[in-house]
Structure 1
């Protein structure tokens, strides 16, 4: 009945009726056309690909392409030997080459204020294996590690791990102590910002490791949010290209989590920096073997872990407030509960937020960035990627990390051109099409890596991406082009089957 007749008793003249539902969710075969769009990319320079910034919940490179930091923590500079651990048995460049070979693109380097100010030489280095480090100060050893990271295409994040030299988290749970006060902490960050201002290998500063006795807001000497803003703005005044990385606290509104892992306060009191698009939030997360937290004790705790992650830190990414970077997570994989946690968190980092096997982020976006704790085998809590011989790789840990690593082709400074292939309407059946590259003024093998293969649109999907690796060089060549062509479609026809990839010199970025 009409709206005006809503309360009148209707009279039924026909007791049954037939309803026909027209399927308008998918198009007819004639409407299923494919097209591919052009792409432009800035080539690298043979080192890392330049400064990074943020866009929504994505970390992006200088060309605006999403980047995922997927790396390892290599500790030691913060300790009393003032150098990365393991150099007593291996060459540092050899270890870093191994990191790249295993698919890692970032190193988080912990340090202490004392390391920056000590007059002592670093120790724990076999100079017969590391002759170029002979005679260097701790800071100069850091320079050497950073320089080589740039040569092999790795990023570096500096992490203020402690005030005084030592092992583990700071004793007082704050970013300062009686020997190195808050202003010294800020001044040291400013000094590092100036030291590496022309070094895009150093992409970000993790302002302090696990400020577990800090408060999120509220003012006073323990207000971590306010201190992070002060330090962040100070370093951005020197180098506005740095990512400012802010960890969480331990407790907010009487809800407790891992040291540095509680970022619930961001919802009420976000960090505000003077430079836009440079802020990244960074929790830490660990399994039952590190500490038997209450949320691990239910028989079916694994089912609830995605909700735990979301409540404490994942909502920042899911709601597109800012990018999230897990600065530390790791396990020895000896506790059966750890395996459940490890699987749950790596799925979550990939973008599978409910752990149901389906990625929940848009095509072309990257998941949550991370650096695994640790590269070192001598972490008492977690062990490392390396075994105790500082050489053998723990493959059981890698099998969960490999699917979430951000990969190019291993070429230092390589960048990626992304070509979006579009299906005009969703299909009720799979649609496939082949693609292949061909050279123009850009030469395969010298300027880009040739690519060919097939892509499949599952029912309902309308967008896919073809990626082509663009190789690094320092030559001034002007814009160069190559082509990506579509062919042999099944289930659709090709409307626009050719796209031009334009490679711009790195100097234009």
Structure 2
């Protein structure tokens, strides 16, 4: 150990090398790593799309040189594509999110065919607020309009949701995806936020919430996305969600969300399967509204959040032999209770 340095193995020449080192270290310790391009902070995909694709290729090529990292690395290609009002199709001088996803996946699959690809959603417009809460649900993949057989919610059977102003049509993306060799390695990753983040309690609980989730993405896990009489079921992982569990509105919504994910009780609508994967936002306390798994001073673990996830039947992506941390005044508490 060199005085003043906490890790003498960490490369000090280039951030790129530090990232590769971090991924290799975590994966060789038994973890899986999901790499995420934060669109909110990096607009390269719009300014220089080919450079964006090649940057992904360069990173995955370097990581895949390590056999363990190659097998344990996943890719969230573009985080929050609706941040710059991207639609599934090209519009307003911007490329379509579907085209961007496919370009990146084509290139990355040729480098590492074992990658798992996470596809995030785009948010629907307020024009669907009467049927779906656009502020609560970042609507991932609305129904294809190729016939009533694909509609799981009766009121959507009679009309094409894409005829509603502002709603983006993912059909072309799915049609192209159906012919790709990485179809089986594609995971849909919607984002769900509680009232403390969205600023609204509309449709955030009970049947209204569950209908919104079914319509937005849940159907992908049950009947799948359908095109020309071909339907494909997709795995779903909650791309991000989190709460400090400090308000009654958040507690109500998060507990009804847990019922939905476990497909239990009244939330078992028949239109979705159990959703068993979740990326909690976040580990460090860097999101003031929802906090982190760590307390604000980063000295303790908020065991209530851990237990909330545990009660969903979720298991952390860590080696089986890993012992959960103790010390640092960590206190195990009960999962938050709805009042």
With normalisation by structure 1, the TM-score equals 0.48
Residue 45 (structure 2) pairs with residue 176 (structure 1)? yes
Describe the superposition over 1:353-385 as per-residue Cα deviations: whole angstroms up to 9, x where unpaired: 843699x85xxxx73311100001121231100
Query: CA 1:152/1:347 → structure 2, altered by over 3 Å: closer, same or farther?
Result: farther
Kept in 1: contact 2:31–2:72 (CA 8 A): no
Kept in 2: contact 1:246–1:282 (CA 8 A): yes
Aligned pairs for 1:185-204 (under 5 A) are: 185-197=52-64, 198=67, 199-204=69-74
Residue 189 (structure 2) pairs with residue 319 (structure 1)? no
Return the structure number with greater helix share. 2
Tell me the residue number matched to 1:290.
Answer: 197
Tell me the residue number matched to 1:156.
Answer: 33
Pairwise CA distance, 1:176: 2.6
Specify which structure has the bigger relative contact order, considering alpha-carbon pairs within 8 angstroms and separated by 6 or more residues.
1
Pairwise CA distance, 1:257: 3.0
Kept in 2: contact 1:152–1:412 (CA 8 A): no
Query: CA 1:216/1:259 → structure 2, altered by over 3 Å: closer, same or farther?
Result: farther
Query: CA 1:409/1:192 → structure 2, altered by over 3 Å: closer, same or farther?
Result: closer
Count of aligned pairs between the two proteins: 270
SS in 2 for 1:160: strand
Residue 129 (structure 2) pairs with residue 247 (structure 1)? no
Query: CA 1:282/1:381 → structure 2, altered by over 3 Å: closer, same or farther?
Result: same
Kept in 1: contact 2:276–2:314 (CA 8 A): no
Kept in 2: contact 1:258–1:284 (CA 8 A): no
SS in 2 for 1:277: helix
Describe the superposition over 1:51-79 as per-residue Cα deviations: whole angstroms up to 9, x where unpaired: xxxxxxxxxxxxxxxxxxxxxxxxxxxxx
- Alpha-carbon RMSD: 3.2
- Structure 2 CA distance for aligned equivalents of residues 134 and 226 of structure 1: 35
Tell me the residue number matched to 2:5.
Answer: 128
Tell me the residue number matched to 2:208.
Answer: 304
With normalisation by structure 2, the TM-score equals 0.69
Instruction: Decide which of 138, 149, 167 is 1:261's aligned counterpart.
Output: 138
Query: CA 1:343/1:253 → structure 2, altered by over 3 Å: closer, same or farther?
Result: closer
- Structure 1 CA distance for aligned equivalents of residues 4 and 71 of structure 2: 25
Describe the superposition over 1:69-94 as per-residue Cα deviations: whole angstroms up to 9, x where unpaired: xxxxxxxxxxxxxxxxxxxxxxxxxx
Tell me the residue number matched to 2:334.
Answer: none
Query: CA 1:334/1:235 → structure 2, altered by over 3 Å: closer, same or farther?
Result: same
Query: CA 1:207/1:154 → structure 2, altered by over 3 Å: closer, same or farther?
Result: same
SS in 2 for 1:207: strand
Kept in 2: contact 1:252–1:265 (CA 8 A): no
Pairwise CA distance, 1:184: 1.3
Kept in 1: contact 2:77–2:119 (CA 8 A): yes
Pairwise CA distance, 1:396: 2.0
Residue 98 (structure 2) pairs with residue 225 (structure 1)? yes
Query: CA 1:408/1:227 → structure 2, altered by over 3 Å: closer, same or farther?
Result: closer
Name structure 2 gaps, 5 residues minimum.
145-169, 225-232, 323-339
Kept in 2: contact 1:248–1:260 (CA 8 A): no
Residue 105 (structure 2) pairs with residue 238 (structure 1)? no
Tell me the residue number matched to 1:330.
Answer: 242
Tell me the residue number matched to 1:209.
Answer: 79
Instruction: Decide which of 247, 256, 262 is 1:344's aligned counterpart.
Output: 256
Name structure 1 gaps, 5 residues minimum.
1-125, 163-168, 414-509
